[in-house]
Structure 1
Amino acid sequence: MTSLASERSAGLQPGTSPTGDGPLRGWQEPPIQVAPPFVSSAGQEAIDLAARAGLELDPWQQHVLRVGMGERPDGSWSAFEVAVNVPRQNGKGGIIEARELWGLFIGGEELILHSAHEFKTAKAAFKRVERLIRGCPDLHKRVKTYRQTVGEEGIELHNGQLLRFIARSKGSGRGFTGHCNILDEDMILGDNEMDALLPTMAAVDDPQIWYLGSAGIGALSVQLARLRKRALAAIEEGRTDPSLAYLEWSADLHVKECPVDCTAHDDPASDAAVLKANPAVGYRLTLEKVANERSTLSAAGYARERLGVGEYPSEDGDSWAVIGRDVWEALADGTSQMEDPVAFAIDVTPERSHASICAAGRNGEAVHVEVVDNRPGTDWVAKRARELTEKWQPRCWVMDPGSPAGSLIRDLTDALKADPDEEVGEDEEPRLLAPIVQTKTRDVVQAVGQFYDAVVSGQVAHLDQAPLATALAGARKRDLGESWAWARRGVGVDITPLVGVTQARWGVFVEIEEPEEEVEPWADFG
């Protein structure tokens, strides 16, 4: 269920102010939300208690508490797990503090365990809660001690209730049986931590886990990816998850194949995308400050840190989701070779951390595909392309100008000049050792479809190279109208070997326009 079909808290429309005439506000309800049904909520108690302690919560923070603390008819939690995925500096800490205050002073939870990836984060959270309690005499008098010993930080009440603060990175927390577990910085949370935590909660009556953090950062975001997958599956199938409340503020950015007038995706440079991903705009964030971030951060960094566009690893069970492992391995042939002429292709990861040069050529009725190089960075690509061209004399190099590799077309052109010292005019093209074919969107779609069909029909041969197998294991589809292409975002693996061989195979068959021959002026024959 999306937030539009969910329990509505403040009734605010995206990008509006509470009164309708004030400054622009971020979305107070998330664009992605799923939650089990509930008949009542302890969230209002947490909101009111936080206000008594001097913590005034934004409408979006109140919405999270109302949904996350929903109750079934018997008074038990409707959601065993609550996940909040929101960009940095929006105020997720206020949600944590309100939930912990409720657990201590209203909910009667015997042990509340607050963990973070780093000790300094847990320590800072401890100090914030301590200040709130000390500032409210009615709450402060119920405290027996504020534990300050390093590694033992916590707040203990006279009745024995305890709020502990620990760092997961130090191996702490194993064996604790918390009635409520707060997992801060959940974008750095893997199986080891979850394996240590969940079994300890089996004997607890009506426990609850809260995950809070920002967008996924790849391989480290194992548990966040798992939660997000459950939420998206429920939304896609038009149902709720029976035990998970998941709320995510993020933009859904344009892809390069989007038409100019696309309204289904968000422009990363727009204020609308910022408002969609940052509920604190108009409260503690401003569009002006965000604009400064946009001009300073890399495109990928800005998308992740401010627009909530994360990278989420796939679980083993999700591997080989597009092309089956058995199908691919059946096509492996350690003796396979390419016939001349061959085609080469280049691809680069979105963050430009790795690049691949791939090749393809006929092998009887099949086409042999191969990863020639897969290395970190991009500064090596042009020189290597020159070497391969001189050795293989390929029919073409294939480049996608709209992809991250597009920025290398100029370098590749310079590297492939037949005469490096040749001077050409502004309207002239240099003579190249091999032509560079730049794909269009329809070519990308056709290349992927042709590669897939060739694999399924057994018309591909390969050497069972690890980089290509890894890319295929983690590959996902990205819908393009009624067709699809390889998804670059959120796959958690380097898919440049797969994109490269897909384009190189297409290059084996593409028609290449021959350069027009220069005709001598008639005067020369007079």
Structure 2
Amino acid sequence: MTLDPWQEYVLSALMETDAGGDWAASEFGLLVSRQNGKGEILTGYDLTHLFLFPRHDNHRKTILHSAHEVKTAIDAFERLQGVIENVPRLMSRVERIYTANGKEGILLRRRPGQLQGDRIRFIARTKKSGRGFAADILVNDEAQELSLQANNALSYTQSQIDNPQVFFTGTVPEEGVNESEVWEGLRDRGRNGKGEHTGWMEWTPEGSRDPDIADTIEPGDREAWMKSNPSLGVRMPLSNIEDQYERSGTDPDGFLRERLSVWPDRRPDQIKHLSDLDTKRWRDNAIPDARLGDVCVIALALGRGGGFATIAAASRFDDQSIFVEHEKTERGTVWVAQYLKELKERLNDALIVLDPKNASPVLVDLQLLGIKYLPMNMDEIAAAHSGFIEGSNNGMIVHRGQEEVSRSLEYATTRPIGRAGFTWEPSDASKPISQAQAVTWAAWGLRKFEALPPKSKPIVRGYA
């Protein structure tokens, strides 16, 4: 393969590492208009991860390459297959190439000490595609078509992966047509520099991110053509853009979107609230010196796939308010049972509440340590959600101002559950909502405990 300088530039940035040897960008987005050579970058990216960077622990490395449509995923597979089959040195490392419909992929021969060879799979995205895989590397092509549900199905395949990376490529979404929350969230983190491990590159005209200046960009501005199309004059003839511009008279916005990648940031008054929670009021409810009281409730929330867990606690702050606090979030779940046991003892034998479906990976561990808990059903989870939002919006949920909790609540959206109720749902899979879940459930657990008749014991599950 012979790459253009701009393509080499993108790939070199993707392969940057930090001081510890991990990928500098665990998520990386590339915004560039159509037919500039994005496919060659994707092929080079797949080749690099498949052949050059094995896992340090000698376990199988899995690359999962997804696209919004079957034909797009197959096209990417055939590109990669064509390169490998024409290079004997690469083919000598291939165990098998799978071409059956829906099973497209390449399996490498096992390296010394490996039980299974490294592999790459190509799939079309659905709400369930990718489940069952543990993917070290994720590729999300045509990310403007990546829905929250499809992203969740894929992103949680990396829950227990050390040093994962996700590569998103796409174009400007069409408002009201594409499900682009994930893509737009990545763009905002990349442009604003708020993602510590976020990489972002875009080829766009000067001022295109400013909603006031973007409206003044002329579709016929040839300087804007050059800034938006890095392969212009190399892979893309100027005459082709001229023809597209001449035919764009009935849809100039489409030309600005598809050919010039004009995608302005949302104005502050256009920013969509992800839930009914008043996040400004939540932050205003912070009381830095607040602490847990004598009667506490503990809540446990696991990230999907059991890749991490969060523990929070709640107690009465005053007659009107409940205090919530994030206690711990850490990768994996093997630590959870012992930590819960110690925290329960420290907080005066505090009641533990959890969602049994969410916490299923640790229920046996709780049983072995004799830890009892109060299970929440769907209706109670929905009630906890609505009660938490109402309480916070009315200043009745207070906290110490822990930034990780505030961010979790700001990134959390909602989904229907139970009897016409809602619960927290990730708006971006790279931003965990387990802190939002845990403090919400802890506040509900305290109200539940307080509502019990005097001297009665809560009904708990578990084993002494």
Q: TM-score, normalised by structure 2?
A: 0.52
How many Å apart are 1:127 and its aligned residue?
0.5
Indicate if the aligned counterparts of 1:253 and 1:265 stay in contact, CA closer than 8 A.
Answer: no
Q: Which residue of 2 aligns with 1:282?
A: 233
Count of aligned positions: 260
The secondary structure found in structure 1 opposite 2:144 is coil
Once the two structures are superposed, the pairs formed by residues 90-239 of structure 1 within 5 Å of their partners are 90-108=36-54, 110-159=61-110, 160-169=117-126, 171-219=128-176, 220-234=179-193
Once the two structures are superposed, the pairs formed by residues 402-417 of structure 1 within 5 Å of their partners are none
Q: How far apart are the structure 2 equivalents of 1:226 and 1:155?
A: 32
The secondary structure found in structure 2 opposite 1:129 is helix
Q: Which residue of 1 aligns with 2:246?
A: 295
How many Å apart are 1:221 and its aligned residue?
1.1
Compared CA separation, residues 299 and 85, structure 1 to 2 (3 A)? same
Q: Which residue of 2 aligns with 1:515?
A: none
How many Å apart are 1:103 and its aligned residue?
1.0
* Aligned residue identity for 1:301: G
Alignment partner of 1:243 is 2:197? yes
How many Å apart are 1:315 and its aligned residue?
4.2
1:10-63 per-position Cα deviation (integer Å, ceiling 9, x unaligned): xxxxxxxxxxxxxxxxxxxxxxxxxxxxxxxxxxxxxxxxxxxxx111111111
1:148-205 per-position Cα deviation (integer Å, ceiling 9, x unaligned): 1111000111111111000004742123211100000101012112222222212111
* Aligned residue identity for 2:262: V
How many Å apart are 1:251 and its aligned residue?
2.3
Q: How far apart are the structure 2 equivalents of 1:127 and 1:306?
A: 26
Compared CA separation, residues 318 and 311, structure 1 to 2 (3 A)? farther
Q: How far apart are the structure 1 equivalents of 2:208 and 2:137?
A: 39
* Aligned residue identity for 1:249: W
Compared CA separation, residues 269 and 320, structure 1 to 2 (3 A)? farther
CA RMSD, Structure 1 to Structure 2 (Å): 2.9
1:240-264 per-position Cα deviation (integer Å, ceiling 9, x unaligned): 6311001111225789x98xxx999
Q: How far apart are the structure 2 equivalents of 1:218 and 1:315?
A: 13
How many Å apart are 1:316 and its aligned residue?
2.5
Indicate if the aligned counterparts of 2:129 and 2:153 stay in contact, CA closer than 8 A.
Answer: no
Q: How far apart are the structure 2 equivalents of 1:300 and 1:73?
A: 44
Q: How far apart are the structure 2 equivalents of 1:56 and 1:94?
A: 9
Compared CA separation, residues 311 and 263, structure 1 to 2 (3 A)? closer
Compared CA separation, residues 95 and 254, structure 1 to 2 (3 A)? closer
* Aligned residue identity for 1:231: G
Q: How far apart are the structure 1 equivalents of 2:208 and 2:161?
A: 45
1:114-151 per-position Cα deviation (integer Å, ceiling 9, x unaligned): 00000000001111100000111000111111101111
Once the two structures are superposed, the pairs formed by residues 245-260 of structure 1 within 5 Å of their partners are 245-252=199-206
Q: TM-score, normalised by structure 1?
A: 0.46
The secondary structure found in structure 2 opposite 1:71 is coil
Q: How far apart are the structure 2 equivalents of 1:128 and 1:228?
A: 27
Indicate if the aligned counterparts of 1:179 and 1:207 stay in contact, CA closer than 8 A.
Answer: yes
Once the two structures are superposed, the pairs formed by residues 278-357 of structure 1 within 5 Å of their partners are 278-297=229-248, 298-310=251-263, 314-317=271-274
Q: Which residue of 2 aligns with 1:62?
A: 8
Q: How far apart are the structure 1 equivalents of 2:175 and 2:218?
A: 23
Q: How far apart are the structure 2 equivalents of 1:304 and 1:115?
A: 23
Farther off after superposition, 193-202 or 86-95: 193-202
Larger radius of gyration: 1
* Aligned residue identity for 1:218: E
Structure 2 stretches of 5 or more lacking a match? 56-60, 111-116, 282-464
Q: How far apart are the structure 2 equivalents of 1:253 and 1:82?
A: 22
The secondary structure found in structure 2 opposite 1:102 is helix
How many Å apart are 1:218 and its aligned residue?
2.4
**Equivalent position to 2:28, from 79, 82, 92:** 82
Q: Which residue of 2 aligns with 1:424?
A: none
1:367-390 per-position Cα deviation (integer Å, ceiling 9, x unaligned): xxxxxxxxxxxxxxxxxxxxxxxx
- Identity of counterpart residues, as a percentage? 34
Alignment partner of 1:73 is 2:27? no
